[in-house]
């Protein structure tokens, strides 16, 4: 049976790699729609194992032909983590079973018949997707959505609504072993938001030009009667303007854009700004998000919502009640005046904007940045100078050990991997920041706690510290929390 792009009548669906964040979401969606669902994965552990268990979706450990023979699926969905040599991928082909990719399954089974709002770009996808879905929800539009994080307003990363809109995060990572194109090409966007384009995912993209070409294919797919909401401040996004037939709407800080902002004010409680539409002041919005980058994210949502028929008051209701996303500037707690923030940032640009947002939200407080280079793409040699520039917003920096060092050395070679000592030394020299490396997560946590607690003995509560980063004193505890991901 060949790879199917258009799916037949099916009742039993088997997912290869079911514990991936998006694959687990698809499993939940399928079950909610009445399909019988099962799947397999390796090294199954919380939160996805317990999430699927709560849905009573069976998860088989490891990959074997016998799993498929016993489940007898009408359709196999093969996740992008499964290579062609995966035993169940091999068995699917040998047994002549119908198979497809996760993005294609979502499009065919859930997006078809809806207005597809796809949020793409190197940075800000999860925040923008979550905010977009919540603005529509708060306005009573009952949207469907799939997002690569856990929006706190929904407390899960998918929702199937009865409204006309389907909001989905458009990942640029590859689709499957039989389809190396980005996932966002499969979501049939009626409204495509392009936040920004920068070099990332060096394991699958050779250079920036390759990434731009992937996005070019995305904008070329959008039909003439549909809309692209493009970041006009991003020069790489602007390169795509002549490649589209769709209506091109721009957002950003420049007043020449379709929608822009002025008079932004940042406080510990909220961010307020005036949105301008086609050169005229339109409405003063208030959002719970912090940082200039989140004002820009909000503009993309506001523009889309306006074009979907929402009033300024409808949009404001969503912006001011948005609770955020797990591991995106997530407040984990306050202890003795020390504020702990957890963020997923793993690219120099994302780290810089996260720290800038923390600086604006907590003015006058000392800012510690604890960073764990965890993903494969985050430790590329090309990012060294970017990290040095990114960390200058912090007062003190602690960099944890490279998580996949052995795997990286085997696949790419140590000469392609960034040097933590080089980053530490150059951050000290160039920006006069106290930057150090740690040998483990626990050591980093102890070092931070020792200095912070010691400092609290010498300073008042008002002089306490804010800590932002991917690595905290609670790093080991996070592994069992919903929304945790190795990637």
Clarify whether residues 306 and 208 are in a common domain.
yes
Q: What is the pLDDT of residue 406?
A: 67
One domain, residues 206 and 307? yes
Q: Are residues 219 and 147 part of one domain?
A: yes
What pLDDT was estimated at residue 439?
64
* Phi and psi, residue 413, nearest 5°: 100, 145
Strands 259-266, 271-277: pairing kind = antiparallel
**DSSP H/E element including 237:** helix 235-238
pLDDT on residue 359: 81
- Does residue 460 register a pLDDT over 50? no
Same domain, 378 and 345: yes
Residue 199 and residue 230 in one domain: yes
- Percent of the chain topping pLDDT 90: 49
pLDDT score of 472: 40
Residue 6 lies in a domain: no
Domain check: are 48 and 137 in the same one? no
Taking the C-alpha atoms of residue 370 and residue 436, their distance in angstroms, rounded to an integer, is: 10
One domain, residues 244 and 274? yes
pLDDT exceeds cutoff 60 at 441: yes
Q: Tell which of 321, 355, 390 closes a domain.
A: 321
Q: Categorize the per-residue pLDDT at 303 as very low, low, confident or very high, splitting at 50, 70 and 90.
A: very high
Q: How many domains does the chain have?
A: 3
Q: What is the pLDDT of residue 168?
A: 96
d(CA 297, CA 295): 5
What's the domain range around 374? 330-478
How is the chain split among helix, strand and coil, in percent rounded to 5? 40, 25, 40
**What's the predicted TM-score (pTM) here?**
0.78
In terms of Cβ atoms closer than 10 Å to its own Cβ (0-12, 13-18, 19+), residue 406 is exposed
Do the domain assignments include residue 175?
Answer: yes
Picking from 291, 321, 351, the residue at the C-terminal end of a domain is: 321
- Lowest-pLDDT range of 63-67, 134-138, 239-243, 433-437: 433-437
Does residue 107 form part of some domain? no
Same domain flag for 137 and 268: yes
Tell me the per-residue pLDDT of 186-232, one tens digit each, with 9 for 90 and over. 999 999 999 999 877 766 777 889 999 999 999 999 999 999 999 99
- Compute the mean pLDDT over every residue in the chain, rounded to the nearest whole number: 83
pLDDT at 236 over 60: yes
- Predicted confidence band of residue 429 (pLDDT cuts 50, 70, 90): low
The answer as to whether 108 is a domain residue is no
> At 473, which CATH number?
3.90.190.20
Please report whether residue 4 resides in a domain.
no
Task: Provide φ and ψ at 109, rounded to 5°.
Answer: -95, -20
Selection from 58, 60, 61 nearest residue 37 by Cα: 58
Query: Does 300 share its domain with 228?
Result: yes
Higher pLDDT, 395 or 314: 314
- pLDDT over 70 at 487, yes or no: no
76-90, 416-430, 472-486: the lowest-pLDDT one: 472-486
We report the CATH number of the domain holding residue 204 as 3.40.1190.10
Render pLDDT for 398-417 as a digit per residue (tens, 0 to 9).
877 776 666 666 666 666 66
Q: pLDDT digit string (tens) for 358-388?
A: 887 777 788 888 887 776 667 776 777 778 7
At 391 the pLDDT is 80
Residue 152 and residue 326: Cα distance in Å, rounded?
Answer: 7
Is 421 in the same domain as 287? Answer: no
- Rounded CA-CA distance 162/171 in Å is 24
Query: In this structure, are 426 and 459 located in the same domain?
Result: yes
CATH number for position 92? 3.40.50.720
Output the pLDDT for position 477.
40
Residue 2 carries which DSSP code? P
In a domain, 1, yes or no: no
Q: How far apart are CA 377 and CA 49, in angstroms?
A: 25
Is the predicted pLDDT of residue 318 greater than 80, yes or no? yes
Q: Are residue 85 and residue 190 in the same domain, yes or no?
A: no
Select from 71, 101, 131 the last residue of a domain.
101
Q: Is the dihedral of CA 435, 438, 442, 443 positive or negative?
A: negative
């Amino acid at each position: 049976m060949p790879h199917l792009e258009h799916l037949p009548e099916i009742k039993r669906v088997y997912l290869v790699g079911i514990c991936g964040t998006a694959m687990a979401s698809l499993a939940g969606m399928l079950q909610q729609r009445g399909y019988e669902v099962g799947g397999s994965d390796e090294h199954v552990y919380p939160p996805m194992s317990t999430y699927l268990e709560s849905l009573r979706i069976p998860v088989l450990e490891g990959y074997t032909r016998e799993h498929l023979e016993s489940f007898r699926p009408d359709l196999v969905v093969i996740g992008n983590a499964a290579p062609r040599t995966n035993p169940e991928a091999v068995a699917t082909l040998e047994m002549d079973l119908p198979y497809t990719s996760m993005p294609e399954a979502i499009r065919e089974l859930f997006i078809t018949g809806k207005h597809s709002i796809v949020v793409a770009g190197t940075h800000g996808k999860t925040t923008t997707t979550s905010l977009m879905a919540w603005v529509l929800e708060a306005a009573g539009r009952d949207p469907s959505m799939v997002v690569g994080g856990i929006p706190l307003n929904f407390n899960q990363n998918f929702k199937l609504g009865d409204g006309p809109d389907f909001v989905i995060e458009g990942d640029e990572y590859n689709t499957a072993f039989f389809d190396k194109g980005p996932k966002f090409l499969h979501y049939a966007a009626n409204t495509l938001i392009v936040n920004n384009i920068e070099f990332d995912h060096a394991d699958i993209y050779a250079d920036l030009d390759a990434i731009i070409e992937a996005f070019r294919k995305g904008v070329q797919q959008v039909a003439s009667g549909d809309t692209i909401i493009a970041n006009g401040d991003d020069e790489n996004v602007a390169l795509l303007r002549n490649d589209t037939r769709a209506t091109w709407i721009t957002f950003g800080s420049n007043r020449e854009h379709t929608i822009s902002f002025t008079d932004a004010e940042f406080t510990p409680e909220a961010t307020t700004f005036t949105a301008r539409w086609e050169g005229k002041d339109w409405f003063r919005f208030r959002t719970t998000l912090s940082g200039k980058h989140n004002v820009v994210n909000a503009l993309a949502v506001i523009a889309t919502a306006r074009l979907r028929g929402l009033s300024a008051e409808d949009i404001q209701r969503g912006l001011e009640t948005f609770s955020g996303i797990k591991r995106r500037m997530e407040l984990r707690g306050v202890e003795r005046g020390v504020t702990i923030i957890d963020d997923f940032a793993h690219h120099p640009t994302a780290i810089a904007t996260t720290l800038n947002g923390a600086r604006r939200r907590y003015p006058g407080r000392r800012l510690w940045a604890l960073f764990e280079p965890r993903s494969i793409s985050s430790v590329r040699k090309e990012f060294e100078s970017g990290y040095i520039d990114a960390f200058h917003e912090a007062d003190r920096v602690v960099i944890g050990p490279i998580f996949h060092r052995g795997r990286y050395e085997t696949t790419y070679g140590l000469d392609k991997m960034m040097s933590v000592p080089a980053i530490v030394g150059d951050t000290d020299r160039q920006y006069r920041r106290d930057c150090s490396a740690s040998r483990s997560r626990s050591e980093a946590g102890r070092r931070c706690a020792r200095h912070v607690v010691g400092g609290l003995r010498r300073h008042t509560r008002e002089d306490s510290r804010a800590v932002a980063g991917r690595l905290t004193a609670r790093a080991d505890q996070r592994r069992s929390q919903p929304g945790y991901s190795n990637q």
